[in-house]
Amino acid sequence: MAEQAVSPMMQQYFEIKKQHPDEILFYRVGDFYEMFYDDALTASRELELTLTGKNCGKEERAPMCGVPFHSYETYVARLIAKGYKVAICEQMEDPALAKGLVKRDIIRVVTPGTVIESSMLAEDKNNYLCAIYLKKQRRSWRAGVCFADISTGEAYATELSAEKMGGAIITELCRYMPSEILINTAMLDLKDVTAYIKQHTSALVELREDACCKDSVIDAELTAQFGADWRRTCGFAEGGMVPYAVGMLLGYLKETQKHGIERIRAVQNYADAQYMRLSPVTRANLELTETMRGREKKGTLLWVLDKTETSMGKRLLRAWIEQPLVDSAAINARLDAVEALYQENVARGDLKEALGRVFDIERLTTRILYGSATPREVCALGDTCEALPQVRRIAEASTAPLLQKLAADIDPLNDILTRIRSAIGDDPPANLKDGGVIRAGYNAEVDELRDIMHGGKGFLSQMEARLREETGIPKLKIGFNKVFGYYIEVSRSYTGSVPDTFTRKQTLTTGERYITPELKDLENKILGANERLLVLEHQLFADLLSAISGEILRIQKTASAVAQLDVLASFAEVAVCNNYVKPTVDDSDVLDIAEGRHPVIEQMLKGSLFVPNDTTLDEADNRMLIITGPNMAGKSTYMRQNALIALMAQIGSFVPAASCRVGVVDAIFTRVGASDDLAAGQSTFMVEMTEVAEILEHATKNSLVILDEIGRGTSTFDGMSIARAVVEHICEKIGCKTLFATHYHELTELEQDVDGVKNYNIAVKKRGEDITFLRRIVAGPADDSYGIEVAKLAGLPSSVTRRAHEVLRQLEASAPGANASMQLDFETVHAYQNPEVPSEVVDKLKSVDVETLTPIEALNFLYELKKALAK
């Protein structure tokens, strides 16, 4: 069977698809976005769409599926979440006015890192696109790294230089957690980075060709974005790698976004040493923004501290938690601002009320710039402008320098508010196509067209009455038919009175029909009023968006200040609600915490008492605390709470303690818990040793290190030897503040052997075979491991724990150096562990009804039992 000729529309489709082979093409046809061939097969499978076929002039029908254009965002979001890219092909002209084939073109390629639609974004999380440019120079690596969130216009960049570049890049990726990563070909040599991205993130990786990174290409991209003097404007160092990363990112955005790239007006350069170093392991162990179990927000530090009112504040709070400061002056500026808000309950309440009326103007402005904002979103910007003066007044009233600075950065945007309120009605429709967006009185033609639409017949009646009076023809009337449109009909007896301005159109047996230029104009207005009104409203709305876009820098600066105020107010609110105190933060070597509490666990245990504990660490006599005690007693909680308190202080938050002094720490390292890395073929012990090796390599004397159960993944003597060697190395070679929890009681001897080591234990109260965890840390080593008692608490059968006690006594008695008098047989051990209880006591216990006893009766009964036991 001969193939038919391919239709012009499908020819157009094939040409466009050829330019975007790696994206799913959403091809606009009327009210649908259609997909064909492999794209259709993929989309129907991933989106569960019905697959149909289309005649394309070939022997087999082309697989086809489609989605409604007015709800396409939902489908695009699902494809993006699955790692696909989507090219949006739009009709570039009105099909009703097109001559021949409707012109179509790609208006945008949506990728995980270039999403701007609010329906596809988490309001409390930035969506970063990352570009990494790597270059090897002699024996060392240098890299430029850039992160940009085009939904907010933020862009950050830094230069890395390290022998082990992989770890440095992974640290930066953990700081921003991008959803899409652009790399150059040199990055393929860093296997540890590519393995980390694949195993621990869901980011889409895009390899950019070397041609995209040529000096001439990079210079052209940066010149187009920031001007010819871009190096000075952006503060890029001569010969640095950052311009390559930024230029690579801008080039990719121009390829995919077509327009709107001007949203990125500046790039903020930051140094790696500007923020506390937090490895991926540390972030996971401390559960800063997601839990280790379900990767959810509840149960994290972010969950505790988030009492923000705005989406911008929520994103900034997450960023501050991910990037604690190491500059004591900057930290104290935040703390002073929080203190001012903490002390002013009324002002803080008013501020939070005003912030509650502030919309997400960062992302709103981006959609305005792209021309995709809806009328209601523009009104939301106007509502925000109305709230800004109150926000500014409250911040201005404070004596805290940071709050005053932020107040100065808030522009009330009165001119934008006036423009929006004068142009947009009070209750605009959700979509521009629905009409009724422009406020009455804003544009004379809009008002006239609405009058015509709503009162066209009135206009005709007025004209008819006027023409009767002017011509003296009493029975002149205006009529309408589909052939001639509107006409003036005059009976035959009055045709002599018809003015010269009337043009005869049709002769009837009873008279004549005429038209006039005025009537024709009115006809055109009435018949085209609705269509013309929609076009005019679109144009006026586009003009409004363009005018607002011209003020983007003012809006962006204001949004940044509002977000910071929101986070500071959130810190103050949390401090009041949770009884936190202002920490003293300085450049000393001290971490001194009185009655510290775990910020998350105490909130999870609402209604239960959390036992606070003290901590004193420095780089001299208290460099390392060796903590012993049974499992489940609270060692890990204690160590984590100290790390979290130090981190909270360095993000500018008050802390859960009675008092606190924090000498700025440059990094927090943790080695907590046991896990296999099966994907990398590593056992628990191998993972543990790898993490310890990283700590020993990167920790400085200003770091805080938390080590839990080092060496337990191998034999006792091997593990003990490794643990002791690690303790000695940290104390003698690094000298950093360290909390070291262990079950190797032999390590407690190091207090006498190594300077700076102190023994502490978690207090336990023991009654026979039963123990109670007091959760209190006290000086000195633990007197026992209490392993069998903990096993009993965990639910091991009593027969098993009794037998374990018997074996333990035998092992202890037969150990080398044990006293010969301790050589007991198992029968003796059993009798020792199960002493006979007087029958009188047993009888009393069996007969009493505990639930009916009053407190006094219970005390008297206890006294009687004690007397019976003493007989």
Q: Distance (Å, rounded) from C-alpha 208 to C-alpha 245?
A: 11
Residue range(s) in the chain whose domain bears CATH number 3.40.50.300: 584-784
636 is in an annotated binding site: yes
E strands within 715-832? 737-741, 757-767, 770-779
Q: Distance (Å, rounded) from C-alpha 722 to C-alpha 727?
A: 9
634 is in an annotated binding site: yes
Nearest C-alpha neighbor of 547 from the set 384, 422, 412, 651: 422
- Give me the pLDDT at residue 372, please: 87
633 is in an annotated binding site: yes
Nearest C-alpha neighbor of 579 from the set 549, 603, 554: 603
Question: Going by C-beta distance under 8 Å and a sequence separation of 6 or more, which residues neighbour residue 305?
Answer: 317, 321, 570, 571, 574, 599, 648, 653
Q: CB count, 10 Å around CB of 292?
A: 14
The CATH class of 307-413+551-578 is mainly alpha
List b or e across 775-814, with b for residues whose CB sees 16 or more CB atoms inside 10 angstroms.
Answer: bbbeeebbeeebebbbebbeeeeeeebbebbbeebbeebe
Amino acid at 213: C
444-533 folds as MutS, DNA mismatch repair protein; Chain A, domain 3 (1.10.1420)
Which letter does DSSP use for residue 7 in this model?
P
- Give me the pLDDT at residue 813, please: 67
Chunked mean pLDDT (size 10), the chain, 871 residues: 66 92 93 93 93 73 90 92 92 80 92 89 93 85 93 92 84 92 92 88 91 92 91 87 95 88 88 87 92 85 97 96 96 97 95 96 92 92 96 94 97 96 90 87 89 73 90 90 86 89 89 91 79 89 94 94 98 97 96 96 84 92 89 83 97 97 96 54 70 89 91 71 89 93 83 90 72 77 62 67 68 55 41 56 75 77 78 62
Q: Write down the residue that tokens 């009709």 correspond to.
A: 91
Q: Write down the residue that tokens 């609705």 correspond to.
A: 530
- Give me the pLDDT at residue 215, please: 92
Q: Distance (Å, rounded) from C-alpha 648 to C-alpha 479?
A: 79
Q: Distance (Å, rounded) from C-alpha 451 to C-alpha 401?
A: 56
122-274 folds as Nucleotidyltransferase; domain 5 (3.30.420)
- Give me the pLDDT at residue 259, please: 78
630 is in an annotated binding site: yes
681 is in an annotated binding site: no
8-110 folds as MutS, DNA mismatch repair protein, domain I (3.40.1170)
- Give me the pLDDT at residue 219, please: 93
Helix spans in 620-776 (H)? 635-651, 684-698, 716-729, 750-753
Q: What are phi and psi of 277, to 5 degrees?
A: -80, 125
- Give me the pLDDT at residue 801, please: 66
CATH of 584-784 among 3.40.50.300, 2.60.40.730, 3.55.40.20, 1.10.10.410: 3.40.50.300
Residue range(s) in the chain whose domain bears CATH number 1.10.1420.10: 307-413+551-578, 444-533
Which letter does DSSP use for residue 834 in this model?
S
- Give me the pLDDT at residue 811, please: 64
The enclosing H or E element of 32 equals strand 32-36
414 is in an annotated binding site: no
Contact 635, 741 (CB under 8 A): yes
